[in-house]
Amino acid sequence: MDRFQLYIDGVFEDGAARFPSLDPATGAAWTDMPEAREDEVNRAVTAAHRAFITGPWPKMTATQRGKLLMKLADLMAEAAPDLARLETRDTGKIIRETTAQITYVADYYRYYAGLADKIEGAHLPIDKPDMEVWLRREPVGVVASIVPWNSQLFLSAVKLGPALAAGCTVVLKASEDGPAPLLHFARLIHAAGFPPGVVNILTGFGATCGQVLTTHPKVAHIAFTGGPGTARAVVRNSAENLASTSLELGGKSPFIVFDDADLDSAANAQVSGIFAATGQSCVAGSRLLVQAGVKDAFLAKLKEKAEAIRIAAPDDMATEVGPLCTARQRDHIIATIAASQAKGAKVITGGAPLPGAGFYFPPTILDCSSAPEAPALAEEFFGPVLAVESFATEEEALEKANATAYGLASGVFTRSLTRAHRMIRGIRAGVVWVNTYRAVSPIAPFGGHGLSGHGREGGLAAALDYTRTKTVWLRTSDDPIPDPFVMR
């Protein structure tokens, strides 16, 4: 059995204690994990701060940092099968998804490897004839990166990649749920040759690990992905060290289908948008808004597709939907469906957990067209549950799409180019997909607003978030500066 360890200052070590990690497919413990507490967190942050100030890292050129990131990308591509196997075992994500995603994640490190020596300053055409003024972009310092269990290698790449490209050092906290792949990833960091302390990887619980990390006085920036409740605690914690924050917090994304859409294409995208990753995705298209004239036909297609989905063990390449990661997710879904039914929502398919071991829940469709107060329309399930509403007009579709406290992603399906542009302008979300869904790239910024957070991950914008601007003034005149207290 592989023994997982914390990675602090270039050394692998056991934590203050160990705790069991459950296999979501069986509900039973399959191994144990190291727990970081105050001492381990303090040592990790201290190591990161020391590595930022002294040693080889701050002396490296941007190009040298890029070469290290490229080496990490190559190692990650080689280790993709092992990482995929661990993520599937520890989180329940199906192996066909973890394999494809982790292979692509290596491209994120390649992108930021190439971007490292392209983070530029600027020369200012200042209004003073005897001055040269320019701007330098410099790394902010120690970054606390906190990621959830779902898509954790991707969510860490969009933080680590730009932070390291910018010259920062990082303490990465993996979720206490399913941390195995990130603890294994630490071995790749070590093998790539990053200097000790540049990247430190921990796991542990919120009160004894996360709070210590986010309040630490040497932390300059906090990059967090998770839920709004935890994010509020992170923001309150950041008042202690006045760290800047970037928050990616999930959503309740509208998936809008007009009556002129290609319904077969839209149905396939909707199935992917809500049932892929067992619905455990921040961009899940969990609110279907379908035009009234095609509602029945479209729901019939969705019901047929949902009921044909193969639910089985996550390590089987033929499986299409696996278990939820935790029992508390399953319980939250059960309670929210019941509360929505009490408000008038109708179950079209699914709706109850599957019998037997593990945290399995079937693809579920709830018709909330006659239940506008149903919690299913407002609350994030983080599971394979689709809430459906209908609309009559484009104006009504836009109004319902924006009737949410979230603002992360959205999808629009229509053959009308002019309508697509009107919807793009009107939807309040950080991402709008038109006639597609869930497309991502390291080149494209990603993020939201409202309860979906702030800041962007991906693209050049993310790297700039890990820098601060230094303004440099240089006087070019050889004349002495006049005595300011002598009247002339």
| pLDDT single digits (tens) 211-246 | 999 999 999 999 999 999 999 999 999 999 999 999
466 pLDDT tier (thresholds 50, 70, 90): very high
Query: pLDDT tens digits, residue range 245-301?
Result: 999 998 999 999 999 999 999 999 999 999 999 999 999 999 999 999 999 999 999
Closest CA to 53 of 220, 201, 289: 220
- Cα(189)–Cα(443) distance, rounded to whole angstroms? 23
What pLDDT is stored for residue 329 in this prediction?
94
Section 357-383 average pLDDT: 95
Other beta carbons less than 10 A from residue 276's beta carbon: 19
CATH code at 254-434: 3.40.309.10
What is the model's pLDDT at position 488?
Answer: 67
Domain with CATH 3.40.605.10 in the chain: 6-248+458-473
Classify 439 in phi/psi space as left (phi over 0), alpha (psi -120 to 50) or beta: beta
Q: Any idea which of 278-287, 372-381, 434-443, 479-488 has the lowest mean pLDDT?
A: 479-488
CA dist., res. 305 & res. 144, Å (int): 42
Q: Say if residue 60's pLDDT is above 90.
A: yes
Q: Residue 487: which pLDDT band, with cuts at 50, 70 and 90?
A: confident
- Specify the domain boundaries for CATH 3.40.309.10 within the chain: 254-434
What is the model's pLDDT at position 250? 87
Residue bearing tokens 């809430």: 387
pLDDT digits (tens, 9 = 90+) for 74-112: 999 999 999 999 999 999 999 999 999 999 999 999 999
pLDDT on residue 218: 98
SS3 assignment for the chain: CCCCCEEECCEEECCCEEEEEEECCCCEEEEEEEECCHHHHHHHHHHHHHHHHCCCHHHCCHHHHHHHHHHHHHHHHHHHHHHHHHHHHHHCCCHHHHHHHHHHHHHHHHHHHHHHHHCCCEEECCCCCCEEEEEEEEECCEEEEECCCCCHHHHHHHHHHHHHHHCCEEEEEECCCCCHHHHHHHHHHHHHCCCCCCEEEEECCHHHHHHHHHHCCCEEEEEEECCHHHHHHHHHHHHHHCCEEEEECCCCCEEEECCCCCHHHHHHHHHHHHHHHHHCCCCCCCEEEEEHHHHHHHHHHHHHHHHHCCECCCCCCCCCECCCCCHHHHHHHHHHHHHHHHCCCEEEECCCCCCCCCCCCCCEEEECCCCCCCHHHCCCCCCCEEEEEEECCHHHHHHHHCCCCCCCCCEEECCCHHHHHHHHHHCCCCCCEECCCCCCCCCCCECCCHHHEECCECHHHHHHHCEEEEEEEEECCCCCCCCCCCCC
What's the whole-number mean pLDDT along residues 414-425?
A: 98
Give the homologous superfamily in CATH for domain 6-248+458-473.
Aldehyde Dehydrogenase; Chain A, domain 1 (3.40.605.10)
Q: Which of 283, 238, 278 is nearest to 144 (CA)?
A: 238
What is the rounded average pLDDT for all residues in the chain? 96
Residue 2 confidence (pLDDT): 81
Counting residues of the chain whose pLDDT is more than 70, the rounded percentage is 100
**pLDDT tens track for 434-449:** 999 999 999 999 999 9
Q: What is the mean predicted confidence (pLDDT) over 108-117?
A: 97
Give me the active site residues, please: 248
